[in-house]
């Protein structure tokens, strides 16, 4: 009988202890941990709930905070290249998330360089030779597809016609050419002092041989001695 009374007394004491513990004490881990836990809508020592803990107790009049950071949607940073043919740029959304945005895909015969598509061509001449002033030119296309006019040749002593340099024969052109001689154009053709070839024995000998061959006759055969005599005769005093 005594043991039964003791058991009932123990049950009564435990029940009373449970009922005496504040219902909201330590309701949220970390809240009022230095103030004896949470008791109702305040810490057990009377300290108000912190801004971190108050949203977890809406019944106490603390409304939970749902503030969301917002940004102005816009492209940020400069464009850049990926995989040689794609142009990208970073984009910031209204929720402040940043991601890569594909802005352009380079067309065929183009590659991405320095954040933009650059056309690429086969280096080659793309035009026939043509005249420009007194010179020959030809158009050349570079790797970057730019076109330059390249000088092929300068027509120094003539004119340029139909893609060709043509010499102009005239006295005073500083070039002895064509039918110009020191007699007809001494400005261009230098006259040198020399023995009159028309009156030299050797010239006469050659002329005679040529005339004989034209008449169909057999020319005289000259020996080395004959030629030496003819040569020495030129220097008679």
Rounded to 10°, the helix 224-233/201-214 angle is 130
* pLDDT of the residue at 78: 92
Q: How far apart are CA 118 and CA 116, in angstroms?
A: 6
Instruction: State the Cα torsion 53-57-60-66 to the nearest 10°.
Output: 80
Burial of 32 (C-beta count, 10 Å sphere; 0-12/13-18/19+):
buried
The conformational region for residue 205 under phi > 0 = left, psi -120 to 50 = alpha, else beta, is: alpha
Instruction: Give pTM, 2 decimals.
Output: 0.33
**136 and 165 in contact (C-beta within 8 Å)?**
yes
How high is the pLDDT of residue 209? Answer: 60
Q: Token pair for residue 126?
A: 């793309």
Ranges in the chain, pLDDT < 50 = 20-27, 195, 197, 237
- Nearest-angstrom CA–CA distance, 63 and 113: 54
pLDDT on residue 144: 80
Going by their DSSP bridges, the two strands 98-105 and 130-131 should be labelled as unpaired
Cβ neighbors of 144 (< 8 A, separation 6 or more) are 118, 119, 120, 121
Q: Which residues contact 133 (CB under 8 A, 6 or more apart)?
A: 160
Q: What is the pLDDT of residue 22?
A: 47
What pLDDT does residue 150 have? 93
Q: Are strands 158-161 and 147-154 parallel, antiparallel or unpaired?
A: unpaired
* Cα gap 53→69, rounded to integer Å: 21
- Report the pLDDT value the prediction gives residue 101, as an integer from 0 to 100: 92
Q: Residue 160: how many CB atoms within 10 A of its CB?
A: 20
Other CB atoms within a 10 A radius of the CB of residue 185 amount to 19
């Amino acid at each position: 009988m005594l043991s039964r009374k003791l058991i009932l007394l123990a049950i009564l004491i435990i029940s009373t202890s449970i009922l005496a513990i504040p219902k909201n004490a330590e309701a949220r881990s970390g809240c009022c941990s230095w103030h004896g836990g949470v008791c109702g809508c305040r810490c057990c020592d009377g300290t108000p709930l912190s801004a971190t803990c108050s949203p977890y107790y809406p019944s106490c009049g603390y409304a939970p905070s749902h503030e969301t950071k917002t940004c102005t949607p816009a492209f940020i940073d400069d464009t850049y290249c990926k995989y040689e043919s794609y142009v990208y740029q970073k984009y910031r959304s209204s929720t402040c998330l940043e991601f890569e945005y594909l802005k352009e895909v380079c067309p065929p015969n183009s590659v991405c360089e320095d954040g933009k598509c650059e056309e690429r061509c086969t280096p080659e001449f793309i035009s026939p030779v043509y005249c420009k002033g007194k010179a020959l030119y030809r158009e050349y296309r570079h790797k970057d597809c730019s076109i330059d006019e390249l000088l092929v040749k300068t027509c120094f002593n003539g004119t340029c016609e139909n893609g060709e340099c043509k010499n102009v024969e005239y006295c005073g052109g500083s070039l002895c050419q064509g039918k110009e001689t020191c007699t007809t154009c001494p400005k261009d053709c230098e006259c040198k002092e020399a023995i009159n070839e028309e009156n030299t024995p050797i010239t006469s000998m050659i002329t005679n041989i040529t005339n004989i061959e034209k008449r169909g006759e057999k020319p005289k055969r000259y020996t080395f001695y004959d030629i030496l005599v003819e040569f020495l005769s030129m220097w008679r005093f």
